[in-house]
Amino acid sequence: MAGKLYRLSAADASRALRAGEFSLEELLSSYLARHEEVEPATRAFITHDAGRARERVRRLSAGWGEKAEKVLAGIPAAIKDNLCTREVATTCGSRMLTGFLPPYDATVVERLQAAGMVLLGKTNLDEFAMGSSTETSAYGATANPWRRGRVPGGSSGGSAAAVAAGQAAYALGSDTGGSVRQPAAFCGLVGLKPTYGRVSRYGLVAYASSLDQVGTITRTVEDSALVLGAIAGHDPLDSTSVAAPVPDYRAALGRRLDGLRLGVPREYLAVALEEGVRRRVEEAISDLERLGAQVGECSLPHSEYALSAYYIIASAEASSNLARYDGIRHGPRAWEEELGAMYRETRRLAFGSEVKRRIMLGTYVLSAGYYDAYYLRAQKVRTLVKRDFSLALERFDALVCPTSPTVAFGLGDRLDDPLTMYAVDVLTIPVNLAGLPAMSVPCGLWEGLPVGLQLIGRPLGEETLITVGHALEQCRPLDPERRGPLYRSGGELGAI
């Protein structure tokens, strides 16, 4: 088998590898060649290390006998650049971490390494994951491979673009307010944000600790089950990780939907949705009903407050999490004579404007006299948002709604108005406030751009999402005519 191996899903590539249809080297070479071809268009990576990947494949090949049992062994992957990788630059898309070489691997990276991952490199993101378009990165924007001039979504836009364009078989992202699901939706991929605590955050550079969760970006639901299975589980290094045993997520693939109850939150269809998004989502819901699911309406009455509560909580936590960037232990430093000036100048020069805006907002809402009115109130509203979900999920096994109100928007379209940009995440944010698992699955194209359907589950209900997502994927393949980025040459791909 020759040529376009990069088009295979991780699971298909794994099966073929094990069947001896091609070698690890051939698979890697396919990805490396594809990277050369399309990276100038996508600009998905901040760090790409072909040499290290080849060395890794050499070592994996040598011990293939035992490694072959691991499904993800030998599969080339990309990691969002806010996950620490030992001795591999980790920038968070910020000048603040220029030159930073973590002395340790994030737990998820360590687990994937143990599962035989071939790490290709680190993908672009909004600076410190603060954004919804991958435009705030200090390393420049990433393009949506589906269409020239469109954003890939964010903040895990580099991971999504890389997987969509065939530069990696799968990727890890992080999701604080939709940062895995929304780019997956914009790039026609499956994005899974697990339950808060299901996957260790150790080594994930914190943006908003109570909302951050590592997630998977894959081409198929099966791949998301594989990757989640490899990274999930209790980690003694993360106090907020849950001890519940990890099920075999692959067993949830191919289950029938008969008897499953799916709720459609009324409020989520009431927001200003793009016509195409509404249409494809409604079609997908009908398909699910046809497949045996019982669909009903439900209500999440506090939804309209979620966005404000989210930005207060996220910014407050961020203002504290980002205080450690002070020019002392790592990163660049402004060479000032006095400490105070060194702090202020280092942080002025090395943080981008969105990061500074959120630090300012977060500092303000925590400062004396404002804490109760903003932070404390937001945390109470969060309780109400969470309660809405609990009530709805008593009646339904999962909720279905759009992932994003729009398909991929234009580069630069929303960059100047923070509020318009923040509103992009209105359908994904409440899920993070409640700590629930959610998945974005492609449910069709609108004017040539992918639309994502969001499935929201009960705490630790990832299997239900996998079952429903997989059923939908089988009945509504996104790109049956093979016109998407995987089937285009570098020159035909979307670029900036």
| Closer of 132 and 467 to other proteins (Cβ) | 132
In angstroms, give the least distance from the CB of 265 to other proteins. Answer: 18
Q: Which of 9, 14, 137, 155 is catalytic?
A: 155
| Closer of 437 and 490 to other proteins (Cβ) | 437
In the three-class reduction of DSSP (H, G, I as helix; E, B as strand; rest coil), residue 251 is classed as helix
Give the tokens for residue 309: 């509560």
Q: What DSSP letter does each residue of 392-456 carry, written as one string?
A: HHHH-SEEEEESSSSS--BTTSSTT-HHHHHHTTTTTHHHHHHT--EEEEEEEEETTEEEEEEEE
Based on the residue annotation, tell me whether 179 is a catalytic residue of this protein: yes
| Closer of 53 and 214 to other proteins (Cβ) | 214
| Closer of 286 and 353 to other proteins (Cβ) | 353
- 377: part of which helix (H) or strand (E)? helix 377-395
The CA–CA distances, whole Å, from 316 to 14, 146, 319, 357, 378 equal 43, 35, 5, 11, 11
In angstroms, give the least distance from the CB of 435 to other proteins. Answer: 3
In angstroms, give the least distance from the CB of 97 to other proteins. Answer: 7
In angstroms, give the least distance from the CB of 154 to other proteins. Answer: 19
| Closer of 198 and 476 to other proteins (Cβ) | 198
Q: How far apart are CA 187 and CA 85, in angstroms?
A: 25
Angle at 360 between CA 151 and CA 424, to 5 degrees: 30
- CA trace torsion 189, 192, 193, 194 (10° rounding): -170
| Closer of 163 and 204 to other proteins (Cβ) | 204
Beta strand 261-265 pairing with 398-402 = parallel
In angstroms, give the least distance from the CB of 243 to other proteins. Answer: 9
| Closer of 23 and 379 to other proteins (Cβ) | 379
Based on the residue annotation, tell me whether 137 is a catalytic residue of this protein: no
Q: Which of 29, 179, 319, 440 is catalytic?
A: 179
- Angle between the N-to-C axes of helices 221-231 and 107-114, in degrees from 0 to 180, rounded to the nearest 10: 110
In angstroms, give the least distance from the CB of 239 to other proteins. Answer: 4
For the chain, how big is the Rg over CA atoms in Å? 21
In angstroms, give the least distance from the CB of 352 to other proteins. Answer: 12
Q: What DSSP letter does each residue of 180-249 carry, written as one string?
A: THHHHHHTT-EEEEPPTTTB--TTBPPSSTTT--EEEEESSHHHHHHHHHHHBS--TT-TT---PPPP-G
| Closer of 270 and 341 to other proteins (Cβ) | 341
Based on the residue annotation, tell me whether 155 is a catalytic residue of this protein: yes
In angstroms, give the least distance from the CB of 490 to other proteins. Answer: 34
Indicate if the alpha-carbon torsion angle 239, 242, 245, 246 is positive or negative: negative
Residues 6 or more apart whose CB falls under 8 angstroms from that of 482 comprise: none
Indicate if the alpha-carbon torsion angle 191, 271, 312, 135 is positive or negative: positive
Q: Per this entry, what is the length of the chain?
A: 496
- Across 217-251, b (16+ Cβ under 10 Å) vs e yields bbbbbbbbbbbbbbbbbebeebeebbeeebbebbe
Q: Which of 9, 14, 30, 80 is catalytic?
A: 80
In angstroms, give the least distance from the CB of 304 to other proteins. Answer: 7
Indicate if the alpha-carbon torsion angle 33, 37, 42, 47 is positive or negative: positive
| Closer of 278 and 357 to other proteins (Cβ) | 357
Catalytic residue list: 80, 155, 179
